[in-house]
Structure 1
Amino acid sequence: MILINLLPHREASRKKQKEQFFTQLGLSALLGGIICGAVFTWYQGQIAEQQERNAFLKKETARLDAEIKDIAGLQAEIASLRARQTAVEDLQADRNMPVHLLEELVSELPDGIYLRSMKQENQSVLLTGVAQSQERVSDLLRSLSTKTEWLVKPELVEIVAAKASVSNREQRRVSNFTIRANLNRPSSSATKPTGAQPAGPVAPTAPGKV
């Protein structure tokens, strides 16, 4: 017996294939949406976490900047205190300096040298006096160069030949000199006695040995 199918099987088959295609397409779209949503959610989490880190870093940076400002202020205060301490120490050293200078000049002044004045100009001392000869002035320069601690780098500013009256009838040839030396504060000055009596005053006009 021969069976003949008179139904439109081709249209039914095509319809079934279309339904399967659309079903697979819908499932693929749904799966793609789920995957995209998961990826988007993961990236959003990473961004939020990075933003939290950035906020923390900004907060810590601001705190460190404030601490740096405080440290800079403390360093400025420390520098100011050190400057004041140095100024006080210099004033204390300057207070005893005339005593040390007079002591050294009394002990190291060669014979035949008479000082008329001693004047301090900033960090140098200007000595003026009278010498019996130029050799005495050389001896004084050598003594100031090697034997004194409070005077360094002495240099002869001027030396002029003159005559000094010894008596009413006698005059003697002398040399008027001017010497400049730099002041020095030796480290051992703190161990020196500060209560020593200063030498006698320097004669203002008439030559007198210190």
Structure 2
Amino acid sequence: MASLVHTDGLHRCPWCGTDPLYMAYHDEEWGVPERDSRALFEKLLLDGFQAGLAWITILRKRDNFRRAFDGFDPEVIARYDEAKKDALMADAGIVRNRAKIEGAVLSARAYLDLRDKGVDFSTLMWESVGGETFVRRPRTLSEIPAETPESKALSKRLKAAGFRFVGPTIVYAAMQACGLVDDHIADCHRAQPSSKRRGRA
């Protein structure tokens, strides 16, 4: 499917549909390069919670997630005890999945372990694409892969570091969302001409 033309006259990637929240996310966030380590950590965790669900479900609950998970501060999440996990399981404002909650805690501990070893999380993520955004201009959604060699390599590195729910498909979704990869469809209004390096990431 090529882009959708909305009532405002703009062409957008069809995955965002006509939901105003989803359209705003597409226009303002998706594919915008993010280099803040905490923000990248948040997005990776949220993509893990999305597994098996539609992203719009997570997007509608994102503010609740930020409240429940203390602003996705790795230092706080890493200290969550069983009582806190039980409280999260009772919170209807988030996705209540025990394995994913446990995974978030383990991922926070892995994040801190990397930091203690002198590894910056943002640097680790961006190294997967050589430090700059890979730009592609697919014509349809069917041309966008679910995973790539780069997302597989990053997934393997994250798993080895102790992160959870970081399979190559989840990792690729995070790479797209955080602008490591620019997959806006060719006739989408966000697919602006760019000097960014093109590749297959």
TM-score, scaled relative to structure 1: 0.22
TM-score by length of 2: 0.23
